[in-house]
Amino acid sequence: MPVTEFAPGLFVRDFTPPRALGDYKLVAFDMDSTLINIECVDEIAEAAGRKAEVAAITEAAMRGEITDFKDSLRRRVALLAGVPVSAMEQVYTDRLHINPGVDTFVAACRNAGLKTLLVSGGFTFFSDRVKQRLGLDFARANVLEIEDGHLTGRLVDRPWGDIVDGAEKRRVVLEVCELMGIDPSQAIAVGDGANDLPMMQVAGLSVAFHAKPKVREQAQVSIASGGMERVLTVLR
C-alpha cells in the first residue's frame, strides 16, 4: 500500500486524514517501549546478571522473529528467579519514564470522550502504576509470582490464562469494545512490537510508535520521530 510522509517522521498508509479524534470511542495502548521508555523484563534481568540474554529474546520476539510469544516470555521470566522485589522498585523509580507526548495524547483522548486501555505482555507490578499515573480506565497484564520478597521465575495463572500475548491483546480489545457497545472500527490501537499486530489489525486505526519494521509496515499511522502527540496532527 502507498505510504505518505504526512510530516517529517510521520507516515500515513491506507488512511485519509484528517479524521476527528472524537469519531473513536476507545484507545488501546501497549506499555513497554510504547507508553514507557523501557522493556521492564530486560531491566529486571539486569539485577539477575542476565540482561543481555533476556534482551536478545525480547528483541527477537518484538521483531516477530520468535512467533511463540508465550514461550519466549516464560523463558525470560524463568531467568528472573531470585530477583528481589526491591530491584523491581528500583527499576520503576530510577529507569521507568513515560514516553514523550504520551501525557498529551492521553489527555486529548480523554477530553474527546475516549476510554483508555493498557494491554501489555509486561507485568502488573508496573502496569498498575502506569495506569494510575496516566489515569487510564482499564489495564490487563501478566502477574509475576513472588515468594518471600523474591521472584520465583514463574507467572501467576489468572481466570483468563497466564500470559497476555498477541491473541489475548486482540481478545481484550474486542471484549472491551463489546462491553462498551461499540464497533472495533471505533477503536485505536497503539503499539511497537509484533505482539501488538493482532489488536492493531482489528482496530479502526492502528498507530506504530517508534516501532519494529514489521509493525511500521502494517500500521496505518507510523510515528518514527518525535512524541506520541504527533498523531494529533492526523486526528483533528
User: Any idea which residue has 483533528 for its cell?
Assistant: 236
30 catalytic? Reply is: yes
- Is residue 114 within 8 Å of residue 26, measured between CB atoms? yes
Q: Which of 14, 23, 32, 68 is catalytic?
A: 32
Q: Which of 14, 30, 42, 103 is catalytic?
A: 30
Name the residue type at position 73.
L
71 catalytic? Reply is: no
Using CA atoms, how far apart are residues 53 and 233, in angstroms rounded to an integer? Answer: 39
Q: What is the DSSP string of 119-180?
A: EEEEEHHHHHHHHHHHT-SEEEEE-EEEETTEEEEEE--BTTBS---HHHHHHHHHHHHHHH
From the list 217, 218, 223, 221, the residue with the least C-alpha distance to 8 is 223
User: Any idea which residue has 509486561 for its cell?
Assistant: 122
Q: Which residues form the catalytic set?
A: 30, 32
